[in-house]
Structure 1
């Protein structure tokens, strides 16, 4: 069902109402276009410094939710966005150690921060910290996690090896290959291709969100709230993203897509000779549920979350003719009240404006009331006003 198709009484269907409410709420949690562009400028400058001052061939690019367009603001309104970057050095595995690689990148980041401070630049990082797998540069509103990496010669051309001070072996990854897979899954939506074709000149492509990107953000948001007091057992975002991407079948209506994906997700978790397994589509040897085999409690917690969100969506699907206020009241029981309120207010204002526009000077509905009423194009991912 197309999200913009109207029912005969010229009101939104329940699925449309829920899609718009969920989309509007998760849009509030999305990184704003301005902050997105600021983060890109910062990491491009860091990348240019590393390329010019490190050895020849150093490269930096984004990875994870920032690259996929599925960023969700963490926890609270003041929470910082986490942006992952890869710093790839053209070294062979036998020519360096994990510790040596991390230190080489760290030394250059220390030098970069010092140079910014000596030049009196106010846009440099506020902090620089060594963490388990990366170096973290802190900025107002976000931080950049820079992961040192080298090429994975067994998985060319985009496979990489990452450091981890808590693990003996190099860690395999392929963020560019994964992003290419996720992009192709997103492009199953005909509506996305139409938006990109019509709007990319007016709105940058990375500010337009597909149905798949939005539904991943909804799953991540609900999961973050569910595990707010139990972050150690929270499923990794890459697991939710992979299951959603594999289950997605090109639906344009957001609520319908979420329900269909949830209905299919459990069947995509394999049991290979007693080992739970969800393979990385860009690196089949990597298992995104490997920790379940080591810590069975994590699988049980995942299933508890999965049952909770599935029950919530099934319950919402039964609220036909309940009205906006009742639907909203049910949504805020499972999702964060602030973003849902923003979306509710925008939706209610849209409905009021539409009704006013269809009234004649006599106060009666005009002839246009019998025609289709379209949802204004808000260009997925754009923010209508400042947060507060």
Structure 2
């Protein structure tokens, strides 16, 4: 028999699995990344390096919660330049010129799989494709943080911004207790996007936290806590739990202890670049700090309430989950769980925490909401 923690782990894992990018769309996004990266590496000057960053390389991608939401895959286009030899504006334009040439080449060749548009953003260039977009971040090496630190462009700031996406990915993978080798199969300067056949508990924890956050701030994206902040705090708080629900509870119990305050300044350092602060906007925009703690308090209360549902029926667990998470993925996970249990119609969590046949399971609803996202129908 399953304990309550076992059941909640399987239900949460099954629900967030529905939100994973579909294999076909993943393959399409990776193919576009590799083609764009190869174009930049081959047509830029020698030494241009292309590599992924963000949720694709971390293995924490979550399907956007809005019907029109898109996945995004981020790549860094690093040029071998010294900051004294260029400006942020010139660097961004050089990369933009190559992307414009790439898009025109696709049209001239009569290819129908090229980007629908190319748009400049605050720090990057965005190539739009059906179902996802590709963000290309121009960068140069940060000579003060070798070997993987970079300087970034930002049209709203005069100073070069700094980061270390490769160092961050290495830190996160170590925290996940993963050991995966990224093989270079194509252009020597285009690093592959790793394919995650299974997710580690930490990767799943981050997906669950990001999922909840996206839902809570669906109508207030300006104040939504950034994924990198949630991922960093979760990575620091994770202590190796194998059971997913136990890992979620442990992370929530500890993650705010890694938020520092020096005088009036809030500080969550990038573990791969100590001078980059992931809460640097909190003093300037206190509503963003308030939004983070409002989100944290909400998901913490949800998880604590779920942890206290021994003796409650599956229908009660189902209803509680759907108060905080998307209905469709939760229902899909419950259906899968019921199949695993032999489609037993009557299940209750006993006072011991073990699953036993006494109460009715979740009531099924019409499946018309699956039409919101094609991936839900896969």
**After TM superposition, is the score higher than 0.5?**
yes
Q: TM-score range by the shorter chain?
A: 0.7 to 0.9
Displacement after TM superposition at 1:236 (Å): 0.7
Q: Which runs of 4+ in 1 moved over 6 A?
A: none
* 1:83 counterpart = 2:77: no
Q: Secondary structure at the match of 1:147?
A: strand
Distance 2:128 2:50 in 1: 17
Q: CA deviation at 1:354?
A: 8.5
Aligned to 1:344: 334
1:300 to 270, 276, 290: 290
Cα distance in 1, alignment partners of residues 311 and 340 from structure 2: 19
Contact 1:88 1:149 in 2 (8 A): yes
SS in 2 for 1:332: helix
Output the CA distance in 2 between the equivalents of 1:387 and 1:269: 36
Task: Go from structure 1 to structure 2 and tell me whether the alpha carbon gap of 1:305 and 1:386 turns closer, same or farther (over 3 Å shift).
Answer: closer
> Would the aligned equivalents of 1:62 and 1:85 in 2 still touch at CA under 8 Å?
yes
Mapping of 1:1-388 within 5 angstroms?
Answer: 11-187=1-177, 206-352=196-342, 387-388=376-377
TM-score (norm 1): 0.84
CA deviation after TM superposition for structure 1 residue 78, in Å: 4.1
Corresponding residue pairs, total: 337
CA distance in 2, matches of 1:113, 1:321: 59
- Using the alignment, how far apart are the partners of 2:138 and 2:375 within structure 1? 35
Deviation at 1:386, TM superposition (A): 5.6
CA RMSD, aligned part only? 1.8
CA distance in 1, matches of 2:195, 2:227: 23
Is the contact between residue 18 and residue 375 of structure 2 (CA under 8 Å) also seen in structure 1? no
Structure 1: how far apart are the matches of 2:219 and 2:115? 30
Per-residue Cα deviation, 1:175-202 (whole angstroms, up to 9, x for no partner): 0000000000000xxxx77xx89xxxxx
Q: 1:92-150 CA deviation, whole Å, 9 max, x = no partner?
A: 10110100000000000000010011101122111111111111111111100001000
Normalising by the residue count of structure 2, what TM-score does the alignment of the two structures yield? Answer: 0.86
Unmatched runs of 5 consecutive residues or more in structure 1: 1-10, 198-203, 356-384
Q: How far apart are residue 293 of structure 1 and its match?
A: 1.5
Q: Which runs of 5+ in 2 are unaligned?
A: 182-193, 346-373
C-alpha separation in 1, matches of 2:41 and 2:329: 40
Whole-angstrom distance in 2 between the partners of 1:51 and 1:331: 46
Question: What whole-Å deviation, never above 9, does each CA across 1:47-78 have from its counterpart, x for those lacking one?
Answer: 11111111111111110111101111112244
